[in-house]
Amino acid sequence: MNKLSIVKEFAQNQLKNDKTGHDFNHILRVVKNAQLILAGESANSELVLVSAYLHDVFDDKLIEDPASKRQEVRQKLTELGYPSNFIDQVFEIIDNMSFSANLAQKKTLSIEGQIVQDADRLDAIGAVGIARAFYYGGHFGETMYDPEILPRQQMNKTAYRQPGTVINHFYEKLLKLKDQMNTITAQTIAKQRQRFMLDFLEKFKSEWGQ
């Protein structure tokens, strides 16, 4: 088995019990998006794919002990023979690509980081994005909708992690992603998915009776 297949298998194993919308199927969709974006860019594809496979493995909102998981990932990549500067770049991408890491100020990402960020963000919007938001909200005890609760503005990471409502998550994050895509490929796909989310929100509110 080549190194990348072992990384893939490692990620699958790590995320197999996830029930928050960050399971291995999310990873496979992100990898597929990344491959599509890579076709239009000049970038180190091994760095993109390793980062895509591992990007949710040590996320602090999903696991108890992110510090020891990071160590485990570093050890795994070292064992596989990836050079330490390659491994540093993987961590740099994963640490700086998330929406929450970019709330205070926008982080500068390498082209590889920009591709993985776009690939991950494409999976947060559109039909699958809608499903994942409700799945995540249910798992963490969020209210589906409350017209009395207004979307929050200008949040830091701690405030962002407090449960809100799932419908507000669209205004607090999901609808903002279209204008934050780095690559032309992702910008094009995001436009269609944005329209779908806006239609959904309109129908949702009209059925709700608003």
Contact 95, 80 (CB under 8 A): no
Is residue 142 within the footprint of ligand ADP (CB under 6 A)?
yes
Alpha helices in 39-183 (DSSP H): 45-54, 66-79, 84-97, 111-122, 126-139, 157-161, 166-172
Kindly tell me which of 8 and 132 has the beta carbon lying closer to ligand ADP: 132
> Which residue in 77, 133, 189, 190 binds ligand ADP (CB under 6 A)?
133
Number of residues near Ni ion (by CB under 5 A): 2
Is residue 61 within the footprint of ligand ADP (CB under 6 A)?
yes
Is residue 136 within the footprint of ligand ADP (CB under 6 A)?
yes
Least Cβ distance, residue 97 to ligand ADP (angstroms):
7
Q: How far apart, in whole angstroms, are the C-alpha atoms of residue 48 and residue 34?
A: 7
Structure tokens at 198: 């806006």
- Angle (CA) 55-198-210 rounded to 5° is 125
Alpha carbon of residue 28 to chain centroid: 12
Burial 131-160 (b: 16+ CB within 10 A, else e): ebbebbbeeeebeeeeeeeeeeeebeeeeb
Is residue 166 within the footprint of ligand ADP (CB under 6 A)?
yes
Kindly tell me which of 53 and 136 has the beta carbon lying closer to ligand ADP: 136
Residue 193 binds which one of ligand ADP, Ni ion, none, with CB within 5 to 8 A depending on kind? none
**Which residues are within 8 A (CB) of 32 and not within 5 positions of it... i.e. 6 or more apart?**
none
Kindly tell me which of 26 and 82 has the beta carbon lying closer to ligand ADP: 26
Least Cβ distance, residue 120 to ligand ADP (angstroms):
6
Binding letters toward ligand ADP, positions 9-48, x by CB under 6 A: ------------x---------------------------
Contacts with Ni ion, residue ranges (CB under 5 A):
56, 120
